[in-house]
């Protein structure tokens, strides 16, 4: 039986995958409905805003040379996730559409995560240097903390016409 060689994940991939797991856990809590929704939604939206910011501002520009098609798709998925979060935040947890909005947002995020973890992260880890990835991880951690402290409302444009992904493309 051939032994599979394990590919060591970069500090960037470890950071992003850890954030993915945290978001997944928040969606599970929201779906269960055993905890008040408002604090969970705040935590979810703040974490996703910070996560999307570090990807859009730091990771995607570096990864664009490796997988440009996935970067454009990822930006569109970020836009849709942001709009889904805005709609979710504007919906009372007792509203009949609340659960459907949670599910739709979760499924979009899950699809996005699958593509990143399955295709993008391994390609970037393989094609960028260890030093560059280590430095990028440091910058991403610092920026994540900064955006998280400011919260979702400070990180994303108001309204539904523009998203933070649109602002990144300038």
Number of domains making up the chain? 1
The verdict on residue 115 lying in a domain is yes
Give the tokens for residue 137.
């991880």
Q: Is the dihedral of CA 139, 167, 37, 73 positive or negative?
A: negative
Q: Is 4 among the domain residues?
A: no
Domain range holding 16? Answer: 11-161
* The pLDDT of residue 8: 82
CA dihedral of 108, 112, 117, 120, whole degrees rounded to 10: 170
Q: Could you tell me if residue 61 is inside a domain?
A: yes
77: domain CATH number is 1.20.120.520
pLDDT tens figures, 67-88: 999 999 999 999 999 999 999 9
CA angle in degrees (0–180, nearest 5) for 68-20-103? 100
- The predicted pLDDT at position 158 comes to 81
**pLDDT band at 33; cut points 50, 70, 90:** confident
Asked if residue 3 is part of any domain, the answer here is no
d(CA 29, CA 52): 21
Residue 130 counted as domain residue? yes
Q: What is the dihedral of CA 125, 126, 128, 130, to 10 degrees?
A: 70
In a domain, 82, yes or no: yes
Across the chain, mean pLDDT equals 90
pLDDT of residue 5: 47
Tens digits of per-residue pLDDT, 130-141? 999 999 999 999
Which residues touch 122 (CB under 8 Å, ≥6 apart)? 7, 13
With respect to residue 146, please indicate whether it lies within any of the assigned structural domains. yes
Cα distance between residue 65 and residue 84, in whole Å: 29
168 within some domain: no
Give the torsion through C-alpha atoms of 35, 54, 75, 39, to 10 deg: 10
Asked if 63 and 120 touch (Cβ cutoff 8 Å), the reply is: yes
114/116 Cα distance (integer angstroms)? 6
pTM score of the predicted model: 0.89
Burial class from Cβ neighbours inside 10 Å (0-12, 13-18, 19+) for residue 89 reads middle
Enumerate residues 6+ apart whose C-beta is below 8 A from 138.
none
What does the pLDDT read at residue 84?
Answer: 94
């Amino acid at each position: 039986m051939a032994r599979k060689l394990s590919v060591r994940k970069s500090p960037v991939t470890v950071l992003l995958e850890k954030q993915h797991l945290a978001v997944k856990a928040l969606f599970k809590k929201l779906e269960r409905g055993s905890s008040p929704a408002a604090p969970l939604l705040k935590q979810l939206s703040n974490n996703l805003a910070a996560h999307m910011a570090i990807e859009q501002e730091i990771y995607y520009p570096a990864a664009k040379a490796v997988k440009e098609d996935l970067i454009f798709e990822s930006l569109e998925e970020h836009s849709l996730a942001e709009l889904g979060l805005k709609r979710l935040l504007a919906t009372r947890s007792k509203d009949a559409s609340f659960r459907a909005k949670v599910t739709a947002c979760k499924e979009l995020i899950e699809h996005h995560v699958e593509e990143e973890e399955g295709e993008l992260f391994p390609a970037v880890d393989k094609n960028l240097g260890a030093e560059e990835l280590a430095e990028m991880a440091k910058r991403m951690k610092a920026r994540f903390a900064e955006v998280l402290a400011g919260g979702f409302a400070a990180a994303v444009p108001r309204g539904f016409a523009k998203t933070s992904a649109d602002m990144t493309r300038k």
